[in-house]
């Protein structure tokens, strides 16, 4: 099966190299909200207020963290396996559908049960969860299928 949308396999290692530090920095941000002085910068802002273009002073710790997580997760999730076949493509599709369902169940539950600033945090973290749910489900399904193949041999 031709899968033009997948990245080369080597991107998976790069993805893990970006994703793991991003997750660590993200956890540190959630616990301590660090603002390292050396990350203070003047940045171009499109939406500081409603469609007002300007330059603002900002600590870019959280932006760097989010980019590491998102780019790393995309590289991990959408890199080819060493031997990409139709069965792996099926696992990939099933995992993506599953992750989408779980992600939006979380959003629906948050809309119903989470309010005020807690809702902001749920939605903020939700931009990462679909990729994280996909990576977990996909790798679990691959591991399970490989164990099943080994048991049959």
Q: What is the pLDDT of residue 148?
A: 87
| C-alpha span between 72 and 18 (Å, rounded) | 5
Q: Which of 66, 82, 97 is nearest to 13 (CA)?
A: 82
- The 10s digit of each residue's pLDDT in 122-144 is 999 999 999 999 999 999 999 99
Residue-averaged pLDDT of the chain = 92
Q: What is the pLDDT of residue 98?
A: 97
- Residue boundaries of the structural domains of the chain: 6-80, 83-153
Q: What is the pLDDT of residue 96?
A: 96
Given a contact cutoff of 8 angstroms between Cβ atoms, the answer to whether 9 and 82 are in contact is yes
Mean pLDDT, residues 107-111: 96
| Band (71; pLDDT cuts 50, 70, 90) | very high
**pTM, to two decimals:** 0.89
Residue 33 backbone zone (phi > 0: left; psi -120 to 50: alpha; other: beta): left
Given a contact cutoff of 8 angstroms between Cβ atoms, the answer to whether 29 and 10 are in contact is no
57 CB-near residues (< 8 Å, 6+ apart): 40, 41, 42, 43
| Band (45; pLDDT cuts 50, 70, 90) | confident
Q: Is pLDDT at 13 greater than 70 in this prediction?
A: yes
């Amino acid at each position: 099966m031709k899968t033009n949308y997948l990245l080369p396999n080597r991107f998976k290692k790069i993805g893990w190299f970006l994703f793991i530090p991003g997750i660590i920095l993200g956890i540190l941000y959630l616990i301590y909200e660090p603002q390292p002085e050396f990350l203070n910068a003047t940045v171009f802002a499109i939406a500081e207020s409603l469609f007002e273009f300007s330059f603002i002073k900002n600590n870019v710790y959280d932006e760097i963290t989010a980019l590491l997580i998102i780019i790393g997760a995309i590289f991990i999730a959408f890199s080819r396996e060493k031997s990409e076949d139709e069965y792996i493509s099926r696992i990939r599709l099933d995992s993506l559908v599953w992750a989408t369902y779980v992600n939006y169940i979380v959003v629906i539950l948050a809309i119903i049960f989470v309010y005020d600033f807690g809702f902001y945090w749920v939605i903020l973290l939700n931009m990462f969860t679909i990729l994280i749910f996909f990576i977990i489900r996909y790798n679990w399904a691959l591991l399970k299928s490989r164990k099943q193949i080994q048991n049959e041999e």
